[in-house]
């Protein structure tokens, strides 16, 4: 219509109301008061008595434009408040869930595992625990002919909000990385990571993590918490491969004792070695010495130490083999739930109180008195919740250590010490330069327990 108006193919635009043409004041000025008179177009809005041919009618049209824009802004804010409320309650409001889940047919705001895709997600996490890098995991998925998330949706006729490229449904390391770092697979609903700048703009920006909506236990977990945390520890190491797509057992953990840089892997064709990265990358003028150590011997040394310390830990304190019930923790968690429910009731009561005052049910004096009482009670509940949160955080550390050692005991049953166990127990390994006289080389291990 705008293009036809520009070409002067008609003379009048007739609308029920000005808002049917636009609610944006900027467009009102651009077209109704700017371009339409130039193009010889007469604009008429019947319900608003708006007519560009009537002199002195411009102010009325501008007022209508402002009112319409205010309405649009209020509507946008109300819709956002409803969505935010659903996010706080852990209800899923997205168009389509993440790969591995689908919407519950009985409740569109609830997601359930998609059996086929969920199994692929579990396999991706298992490969990561075994030491495969993201690129290698993508290669393994493509080798097995498993379609990527976008292609998977298209093949099932599901609505897809991503453009379908002619990539034959191939995986890449970026997609694998997103899956490996998404906490939603543990049963935690996370929403609000991105938001539009305003209702008038389509620009979307990232939201700080502190402003995300995070609600636990909203849907069935595909990945258990221990596995997810183990994978995150491995990802944080930023391990590099040697071109095969697989990382060695100690990748990212071995540091030069003198300069602190990460040791890089090299080979003489027969054996693999680790040497100071600063030495390897510094060219002719070496900034550090070699600090070379045989990789297989270092792996054997660390594996033996892990087995010794874990077995010693359980021998020294056999009582830890049996999980002990933390009654205090359970009590705090129960109180936390009760207080959270009470706090929500107080918030709702404050809203009702305000509405009663507006409706004239309460006098100003009654409103002030009740409002003050509710605010004091709300403040007391918030202080108690904060103290519970701090105490639970303090009790978390010993529990995490006990869980770690329990997991270590299970993994030691395997013939080869897995990378998951090494990453979970070892903070860093420092390699000193070999003594030229005695030939001895000191290895320092910093443990997480």
Q: Which residues pair with 428 in a beta bridge?
A: 446
State whether 106 and 202 are in the same domain. Answer: yes
CA proximity to 274, closest of 251, 301, 304: 251
State whether 204 and 106 are in the same domain. Answer: yes
- Over pLDDT 90: what percentage of the chain? 9
Q: Kindly report the CATH number assigned to the domain that includes residue 9.
A: 3.40.50.1390
* Residue 397: inside a domain: yes
Which stretches of 232-385 are assigned E, i.e. beta strand? 254-256, 263-267, 272-276, 293-294
Predicted confidence (pLDDT) per residue in 56-65, tens digit: 777 777 777 7
Q: How confident is the model at residue 321 (pLDDT cuts 50, 70, 90)?
A: very low
Domain hosting residue 127, numbered range: 101-235
Q: Are 213 and 87 in contact (CB under 8 A)?
A: yes
State whether 34 and 142 are in the same domain. Answer: no
State whether 133 and 69 are in the same domain. Answer: no
The predicted model scores a pTM of 0.53
DSSP secondary structure letter of residue 97: P
Q: How confident is the model at residue 320 (pLDDT cuts 50, 70, 90)?
A: very low
State whether 68 and 114 are in the same domain. Answer: no
Predicted confidence (pLDDT) per residue in 271-308, tens digit: 888 888 887 766 666 778 888 888 888 888 888 888 77
Angstrom CA distances, 373 to 11, 163, 338, 350, stand at: 65, 55, 20, 10
CA proximity to 265, closest of 126, 134, 431, 138: 431
């Amino acid at each position: 219509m705008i293009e036809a108006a520009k070409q002067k193919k008609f003379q009048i635009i007739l609308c029920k109301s000005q808002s049917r043409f636009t609610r944006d004041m900027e467009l009102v000025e651009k077209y109704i008061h700017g371009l339409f008179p130039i193009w010889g177009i007469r604009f008429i809005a019947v319900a608003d008595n708006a007519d560009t041919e009537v002199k002195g009618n411009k102010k009325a049209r501008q007022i209508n434009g402002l009112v319409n824009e205010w309405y649009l802004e209020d509507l946008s804010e109300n819709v956002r408040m409803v969505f935010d409320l659903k996010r706080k309650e852990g209800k899923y409001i997205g168009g389509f869930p993440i790969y591995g889940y689908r919407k519950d047919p009985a409740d569109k705001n609830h997601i359930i595992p998609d059996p086929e895709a969920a199994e692929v997600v579990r396999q991706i996490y298992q490969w990561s625990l075994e030491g495969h890098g993201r690129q290698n995991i993508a290669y393994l998925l493509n080798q097995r002919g498993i379609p990527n998330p976008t292609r998977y949706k298209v093949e099932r006729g599901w609505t897809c909000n991503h453009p379908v490229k002619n990539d034959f449904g191939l995986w890449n390391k970026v997609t694998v990385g997103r899956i490996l770092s998404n906490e939603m697979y543990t049963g935690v609903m996370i929403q609000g990571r991105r938001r539009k700048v305003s209702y008038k703009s389509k620009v979307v920006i990232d939201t700080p993590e502190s402003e995300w909506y995070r609600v636990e236990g909203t849907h069935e977990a595909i990945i258990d918490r221990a596995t997810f945390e183990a994978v995150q520890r491995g990802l944080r190491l930023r391990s590099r491969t040697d071109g095969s797509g697989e990382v060695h057992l100690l990748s990212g953990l071995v540091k030069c004792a003198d300069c602190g840089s990460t040791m890089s892997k090299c080979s003489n064709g027969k054996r693999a070695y680790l040497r100071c990265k600063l030495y390897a990358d510094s060219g002719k003028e070496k900034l550090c010495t070699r600090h070379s150590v045989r990789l297989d011997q270092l792996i054997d040394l660390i594996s033996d130490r892990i087995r010794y310390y874990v077995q010693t830990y359980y021998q020294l304190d056999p009582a830890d083999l049996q999980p002990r019930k933390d009654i205090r923790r359970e009590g705090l968690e129960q109180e936390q739930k009760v207080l959270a429910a009470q706090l929500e009731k107080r918030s709702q009561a404050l809203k009702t109180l305000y509405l009663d005052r507006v409706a004239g049910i309460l006098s100003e004096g009654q409103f002030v008195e009740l409002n003050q009482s509710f605010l004091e009670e709300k403040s007391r509940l918030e202080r108690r919740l904060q103290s519970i949160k701090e105490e639970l955080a303090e009790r978390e550390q010993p529990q995490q250590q006990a869980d770690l050692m329990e997991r270590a005991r299970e993994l030691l049953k395997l013939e080869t010490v897995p990378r998951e166990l090494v990453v979970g127990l070892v903070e860093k390994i420092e390699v000193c330069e070999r003594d030229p006289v005695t030939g001895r080389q000191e290895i320092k291990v910093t443990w997480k327990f």
